[in-house]
Structure 1
Amino acid sequence: MPGHILILGGTTEARQLAAELTGPGGDATVRITTSLAGRVARPRMPAGDVRIGGFGGPQGLADWLRTHSVDTVVDATHPFAGNISANAAAAANATGTALFALRRPGWTAGPGDHWHTADDLAHAAAQLPALGRRIFLTTGRLGLAAFAAAPGADTLHFLVRSVEPPEPPLPRDTDVLLDRGPYTVEGETALLRERAIDVLVTKDSGGSATAAKLTAARNLGLPVVVVRRPPPPEGVPVVHDVASALQLLCQED
């Protein structure tokens, strides 16, 4: 095992990896630090050392890697956290630090799904007027300006769900639901029915914590607009589960 491992991200996979590395089967001589962005007021804290807040760009991260003698960086951030992933790649390259990404697999459409893919939030917003009037937005609290500025947005009603209050500008007709997963199919189905939702909009985050909404939409025959996830930085190895991450770390001693 490397002597100091920096895990970037507050995802479920990041917490699982930290727990495995610091648990009874871990190596007590290895230092584990998880870095959280600090955007959530009450984050779920991982095992081991934790730092909260940004690094100040790729140069700040590179300085931190050198100062704290980090041997390996695990980019276990959200699949749509493109900026920190790019910063991690640049900092690792500048310092010669080993880096790989831990990304849970994305979702795939199945029988009965009515998915419409989008390249980004603006592309997703542009598709909505043709699909329905009452929109359930589950793309997080950032980037909602794309929906506020979209053609036809004033004719739509939006239900926005996020962990923290969303940042303006918001669409004119918007209700905000503050909630955090995991969710159940029964609960998501009830929500879609109670709010008379016509269209679900989501990012391809993957994982099981928020996948119930997709099953609920399928069962109700609702269209789903899915924003494609960006690729990881070029040249960065990717694993898709914690077991594979542990195996890769054991090869980096």
Structure 2
Amino acid sequence: MHVLILGGTTEARRLAETLVAGAVPGVRVTSSLAGRVERPRRPPGEVRLGGFGGVDGLAAWLREHHVDALIDATHPFARTISFHAAEAAALTHVPLLAVRRPGWVAVEGDDWHGVESLEQAARLAPVLGSRVFLTTGRMGLAAFAGCAEAWFLVRCVDPPGPPLPPRSEVLLDRGPYTLDGERDLMRRHRVDVLVTKDSGGAATAPKLAAARELGLPVVVVRRPPVPQGVPVAEGPEAAVAWLERIHPSG
């Protein structure tokens, strides 16, 4: 059975590791990485880099490489590839599963402000504070380019390209992060509002706890929906169980 994992996340890498180790007998694993990170952490098994060229390109790849199962384990905000995967899977009759880590849940003491887009976050953040800790990644920073009334600490893995907020400092760093580190960072830069996507997971969650401790408002960009009709698993273990159900003989 040839399994194509649309990856780039911790869950995708863990799933590839589990399958290559033999969790489901007779499986060939190919992981596809978008190539947006300069030094991606390559999972075990076969790896391909770059896009497919839209729905038709992905469908052609599935046919050419005789893919038996497609697993979309991309970032929860990688909306385009998820919808392309759903359309390509339907065209080729390849079973599709989406792997999505659970989103974050507000607890007592949190001051969260939910928005539907980065554009909405850019309008709201300067209303809530004047020194913004922006942790939405380097893609989509153009939404904040017109925010001249606030200062931004922009954290991302790779150097971002223009446009950036006119008053900003770029911090290049990769998680996982710690509560002490996030608290110290916010205090040192006198941050008074945090902006984040609801990515879920433990690696970047300490910033939420730090904001709670410091009494800071948090602008949370809600996730886009998974394409209608696509089954969802919360992690690699559930994805392995799904593969065993659709191909029980291994």
TM range (shorter): over 0.9
Q: Secondary structure at the match of 2:91?
A: helix
Deviation at 1:154, TM superposition (A): 1.1
Deviation at 1:144, TM superposition (A): 1.1
Match 1:115 to one of 104, 108, 112: 112
Deviation per residue, 1:196-220 (Å, 9 max, x gap): 0010000000000100100010011
Structure 1 length-normalised TM: 0.96
Q: Secondary structure at the match of 1:154?
A: coil
Deviation per residue, 1:75-129 (Å, 9 max, x gap): 0000000010011011101101000100000001001000000110011111122
Deviation at 1:9, TM superposition (A): 1.2
Deviation per residue, 1:135-172 (Å, 9 max, x gap): 000000011111113xxx21210000000111211110
Residue 238 in 1 paired to residue 232 in 2?
yes
Match 2:19 to one of 18, 21, 31: 21
Residue 207 in 1 paired to residue 201 in 2?
yes
Match 1:144 to one of 141, 146, 155: 141
Q: Secondary structure at the match of 1:50?
A: strand
Rounded to whole Å, the distance in 1 between the matches of 2:23 and 2:96 is 23
Match 2:43 to one of 39, 42, 46: 46
5+ residue gaps in structure 1? Answer: none
Deviation at 1:67, TM superposition (A): 0.4
Rounded to whole Å, the distance in 1 between the matches of 2:150 and 2:127 is 11
Q: Secondary structure at the match of 2:207?
A: helix
Rounded to whole Å, the distance in 2 between the matches of 1:72 and 1:24 is 16
Aligned equivalent of 2:192: 198
Aligned ranges 1:46-85 → 2 under 5 Å: 46-85=43-82
Residue identity (%): 61
Deviation per residue, 1:168-202 (Å, 9 max, x gap): 11110010000000000000000000000010000
Rounded to whole Å, the distance in 2 between the matches of 1:51 and 1:14 is 14
Rounded to whole Å, the distance in 2 between the matches of 1:59 and 1:238 is 23
Rounded to whole Å, the distance in 1 between the matches of 2:34 and 2:91 is 22
Rounded to whole Å, the distance in 2 between the matches of 1:250 and 1:61 is 24
Aligned equivalent of 2:33: 36
Letter in 2 for 1:73: L
Deviation at 1:24, TM superposition (A): 4.8
Structure 2 length-normalised TM: 0.97
5+ residue gaps in structure 2? Answer: none
Match 1:101 to one of 95, 98, 101: 98
Cα RMSD (Å): 0.8
Aligned equivalent of 1:163: 157
Q: Secondary structure at the match of 2:246?
A: coil
